[in-house]
Amino acid sequence: MSLAKPWRELDRSTVGSAPDRYALYELGDADGDTVGFGTGVLRDELKEALAYGDAATVRWELADSPDHAERLLADHVEE
């Protein structure tokens, strides 16, 4: 199930403004279709996603810890 957040363009300004915190993130293509989910330190993960160029958009939900991010991911995958 997708996150209930608006898509943001995955570009350098988005990466630069992303919090340096753990999060669940969702990557999307240019049409707004989900191409994948991930967890980790958001800014680091988005830098990598931008470098690989596999996604055009992103949205996220912040987490309090790595475990919390993994629980958020499990909740979204199960739905």
Comparing CA positions, the residue from 64, 4, 47, 2 lying closest to residue 29 is: 2
CATH number assigned to the domain comprising residue 35: 3.40.1440.10
pLDDT of residue 5: 92
Q: Check if the beta carbon of residue 28 is closer than 8 Å to that of residue 58.
A: yes
Model confidence over 30-43: pLDDT tens digits? 998 999 999 999 99
Q: Evaluate whether residue 21 is within a structural domain.
A: yes
Model confidence over 6-19: pLDDT tens digits? 999 999 999 999 99
Provide φ and ψ at 44, rounded to 5°: -65, -45
- The residues that bridge with 38 in the sheet, in sequence order, are 25
Q: Evaluate whether residue 3 is within a structural domain.
A: no
Q: What is the mean pLDDT of residues 68-75?
A: 94
Residue 51, domain extent: 8-78
Burial of 22 (0-12, 13-18, 19+ CB in 10 A): buried
pTM: 0.92
